[in-house]
Structure 1
Amino acid sequence: MKKPLAYRMRPTNIDEVVGQQHLVGPNKIIRRMVEAHMLSSMILYGPPGTGKTSIASAISGSTNSAFRHLNAATDSKKDLQIVVEEAKFSGQVILLLDEIHRLDKPKQDFLLPHLESGLVILIGATTENPYISINPAIRSRSQIFEVKPLSIEDIIVALERALKDEKNGLGGLAIKLDENALLHFARSSMGDLRGSLNALELAALSTPGNEENEIHITLEIAEECLQRKALVHDKDGDAHYDVISAFQKSIRGSDVDAALHYLARLIEAGELIIICRRLMVCAYEDIGLGNPAAVSRAVTAVQAAEKLGLPEARIPLAHAVVDLALSPKSNSGIEAIDAALTDVRNGKSGEVPLHLKDSHYQGAKDLGRGIDYKFPHAFDNHWVQQQYLPDTIKKAQYYEPVITGKYESALAQQVRQLREKSMD
């Protein structure tokens, strides 16, 4: 039986890995390990289909090491023993262990000495947070790397590579893939490259060719193979971004019904990652200090949605959208940091005042560092008059409260009082 396209297109070396440039890009940690031939055990965690197995396969291919793939939940201790015996014979084996968070104690105890000796290079893969779900004994012997959801651009690169690859991909077929169909394959898998590749293969193999044996894959075929509707049938995808823009602007504008409408359109298109990211941005950018409790609730809702996945994710997402849309709004936080960044980028910084400089080293006092610093907790109300900004911008004021809720009203009163006292 022919293996799925996603399996066939797994990278054979580190240069073929799609995305994850924070790990495999030039001068990044995993590439450094490979190029220096100094591999160590690691745990890769992140959503399904984002490249954990691909990275393990690429490491193996780039180092010419033997590569074995087991599952911590379903494979036995005997299977691990076979891998270890092979390592003793060949010198070293890279073992990809899926669902490593389900590794039981007998298997773990068997593996540990072989990880210590470097005989087995363990690459554990999990969708769970390893700091919570993985035994400390394994964690302490491994480096932990987060594998992030792939961008739309990353997935398009992988899809186009599969369309051209005649050996492992679909390059032997005469495929005409409409641009809006390509975009839909890339967007609707929610960062899961495996899902995009396998949907593309289904479309290619189930669509009859025309008289010239050309297989024409349209947006409608892509929708059917993905079982997700596209937001719009526009060629360049502009309306896709229009819906995302309208979603945030409706929340910012306190139109709860419009916000729910655009949320529904994004949910129907399967855009969970985009919804979660946009909600987080909106919470901090538009609600901010107007209602910090709502911001925290939005973060919790996003975390729940990511855990649940669609369709259940619609429930916490709807709660967050209603909460944020009807909440007091404030953009004072983003305005404040942008004002400070403008000064820094324009060269308005200056030297840190001497009394604020680090004094935790021998000779600091001889340089006048930290001598006149006043420790606020030693004074009434834990405050004392002293200069914190550099001399060149000592009168700069970046934060300007927006009085739209009780919380920022209290902040406004506090900052006004402190600034008045500082001028005395």
Structure 2
Amino acid sequence: MQQPLAYRMRPTKLEEIVGQQDLVGPGKIIDRMVRAKMLSSMILYGPPGTGKTSIASAIAGSTKYAFRVLNAATDTKKDLQVVSEEAKMSGTVVLLLDEIHRLDKTKQDFLLPLLESGSIILIGATTENPYININPAIRSRTQIFEVHPLTPADIKKALDRALNDKNKGLGDYPAVISEEALNFLATATNGDLRSSLNALELAVKSTPKNDQGNINVTQEIVEECLQRKALNSDKNGDAHYDVISAFQKSIRGSDTDAALHYVGRLIESGDLVSIMRRLLVIAYEDIGLANPGACQRTVAAVDAARQLGLPEARIPLANAIIELCLSPKSNSAMAAIDESLSDIRSGNYGDVPLHLKDAHYQGAKKLGRGVTYKYPHDFPNDWVKQQYLPDKIKNAQYYHPKENGRIESAFKSQYTKLRKSAGHQ
């Protein structure tokens, strides 16, 4: 039985990887590891189809190490022992361990000494946040890298390669794919290259040749193979992102009906991932401190939508969207952190005041660290006048509160009172 196109097109060297150039591009961290032959175990986390397995495969191919793939949830300790024995006999083995967040203690205890010795280079793959879902003992022995959804340009590059590759791809098929169909394949899977490649293979192999002997793959055929409608696609592939942009701007502008219209278009195209991610951004960027409770409820709605999946996911999402539209708005928190980051990136910061420096180690007091620090809980109302910012920027103000809701109005009152008590104007 022939393996799926996405499997056959898996890269065998770093140069073949599309996307993730911040990790595998020339001079970047994984490229440096491979060139220096100083591989360390790592965890790759990100959405499905974004290249985690491809990176592991390319690392193994570029270093000529044996490459093995196991699943932490379904493969046993005995399977790990087989890989361990192979490493003892033939040298280092690169092991891709999928769903590493589901690694149990027995398998973990078996793996740890192998990671310490370097006989196995572990590349863990997960869609879950490793800082929350992976055991600290594994985390401490690995580097953690985040992989991101591929751009439409990345996916088109991979699709073109698959269409022209006569050895592993579809180069022996007389396929002619329309630009609209290619753009739709590149945008409709939300950065999931695996889904795009497998849909392309189904489209090519299930379409009969025409009278000229060609296999014409149209947008309608791709829609059928992906089971998604091209409501948000145009000849340039931009309209999908235009709808996402209009969705956020409608909520920011408090137009409930427009927001529901645009999210309806995203739902019809099956793009649940973009809806959930955008809603989380909107909640904290556009509503923020004007209604923190709405932000929390949006997180709960997104979590419910993720567990339910479409079509039921539309219900908690609609609840969140309507509340965000009708909520007071404030971007003061985002503006505050961006202003702070601007100062730091321009070099406008100073040394941490001596009384705030860590004083928990022997000899710290001799260096004057923490000696004059005032513990706020020892004072009335748990507050005492004390400088916290470095001398260079001691009067800096980043947060400029708004009064667009009852909650942030209260924050403004407290913030203003505290700044005045601290001696700021």
Q: Same fold (TM over 0.5)?
A: yes
Q: Once the 2 structures are TM-superposed, how far is the Cα of residue 182 of structure 1 from its aligned partner?
A: 1.7
Residue 401 of structure 1 corresponds to which residue in structure 2? 401
Q: Once the 2 structures are TM-superposed, how far is the Cα of residue 19 of structure 1 from its aligned partner?
A: 2.2
Residue 211 of structure 1 corresponds to which residue in structure 2? 211
Q: 1:16 to 1:356 in 2, by over 3 A?
A: farther
Q: Once the 2 structures are TM-superposed, how far is the Cα of residue 284 of structure 1 from its aligned partner?
A: 2.0
Q: Once the 2 structures are TM-superposed, how far is the Cα of residue 397 of structure 1 from its aligned partner?
A: 5.2
TM alignment of 1:261-410, pairs within 5 A: 261-306=261-306, 308-337=308-337, 349=348, 380-381=380-381, 382-384=383-385, 388=389, 394=395, 398-410=398-410
Contact 1:348–1:392 (Cα < 8 Å) also in 2: no
Residue 181 of structure 1 corresponds to which residue in structure 2? 181
Q: Once the 2 structures are TM-superposed, how far is the Cα of residue 110 of structure 1 from its aligned partner?
A: 4.4
Q: Which amino acid aligns with 1:247?
A: F
Q: Once the 2 structures are TM-superposed, how far is the Cα of residue 378 of structure 1 from its aligned partner?
A: 6.0
CA distance in 1, matches of 2:342, 2:124: 44
Q: Once the 2 structures are TM-superposed, how far is the Cα of residue 65 of structure 1 from its aligned partner?
A: 0.8
Q: Once the 2 structures are TM-superposed, how far is the Cα of residue 200 of structure 1 from its aligned partner?
A: 0.8
CA distance in 1, matches of 2:375, 2:200: 64
1:230 equivalent in alignment to 2:198: no
Q: Once the 2 structures are TM-superposed, how far is the Cα of residue 90 of structure 1 from its aligned partner?
A: 1.4
SS of residue in 1 equivalent to 2:293: helix
Relative to structure 2, which stretch is displaced further, 269-278 or 381-390? Answer: 381-390
SS of residue in 2 equivalent to 1:408: helix
CA distance in 1, matches of 2:354, 2:102: 53
How does the TM-score come out when normalised to structure 2? 0.84
1:63 equivalent in alignment to 2:59: no
Relative to structure 2, which stretch is displaced further, 252-261 or 136-145? Answer: 136-145
1:119 equivalent in alignment to 2:119: yes
- For these two proteins, the number of residue pairs brought into alignment is 422
Q: Once the 2 structures are TM-superposed, how far is the Cα of residue 398 of structure 1 from its aligned partner?
A: 5.0
Q: Once the 2 structures are TM-superposed, how far is the Cα of residue 60 of structure 1 from its aligned partner?
A: 0.8
Residue 6 of structure 2 corresponds to which residue in structure 1? 6
Contact 2:250–2:258 (Cα < 8 Å) also in 1: yes
SS of residue in 1 equivalent to 2:83: helix
Q: Which amino acid aligns with 1:262?
A: Y
CA distance in 2, matches of 1:388, 1:103: 44
Contact 2:353–2:391 (Cα < 8 Å) also in 1: no
CA distance in 2, matches of 1:40, 1:56: 12
Residues 183-226 of structure 1: per-residue CA shift (max 9 Å, x gap): 22122223221111000111111223333333322221111110
Q: 1:97 to 1:397 in 2, by over 3 A?
A: closer
Q: Once the 2 structures are TM-superposed, how far is the Cα of residue 401 of structure 1 from its aligned partner?
A: 2.9
Residue 202 of structure 2 corresponds to which residue in structure 1? 202
Contact 2:328–2:405 (Cα < 8 Å) also in 1: yes
Q: Which amino acid aligns with 1:384?
A: K
Which sections of structure 2, spanning at least 5 residues, go unmatched?
A: none
Q: Once the 2 structures are TM-superposed, how far is the Cα of residue 88 of structure 1 from its aligned partner?
A: 2.5
CA distance in 1, matches of 2:115, 2:232: 51
How does the TM-score come out when normalised to structure 1? 0.84
Contact 1:349–1:393 (Cα < 8 Å) also in 2: no
Contact 2:353–2:389 (Cα < 8 Å) also in 1: no
Contact 1:91–1:119 (Cα < 8 Å) also in 2: yes
Q: Once the 2 structures are TM-superposed, how far is the Cα of residue 261 of structure 1 from its aligned partner?
A: 2.0
Q: Which amino acid aligns with 1:283?
A: A
Contact 1:359–1:365 (Cα < 8 Å) also in 2: no
CA distance in 2, matches of 1:19, 1:401: 40
Q: Which amino acid aligns with 1:250?
A: S
Q: Cα RMSD (Å) of the superposition?
A: 3.6
CA distance in 2, matches of 1:196, 1:134: 29
Q: 1:145 to 1:343 in 2, by over 3 A?
A: closer
Q: 1:68 to 1:351 in 2, by over 3 A?
A: closer
Contact 2:343–2:349 (Cα < 8 Å) also in 1: no
Q: 1:34 to 1:391 in 2, by over 3 A?
A: closer
CA distance in 1, matches of 2:138, 2:367: 47
CA distance in 1, matches of 2:139, 2:418: 47
SS of residue in 1 equivalent to 2:123: strand
Residue 46 of structure 1 corresponds to which residue in structure 2? 46
CA distance in 1, matches of 2:94, 2:347: 52
Q: Once the 2 structures are TM-superposed, how far is the Cα of residue 409 of structure 1 from its aligned partner?
A: 0.9
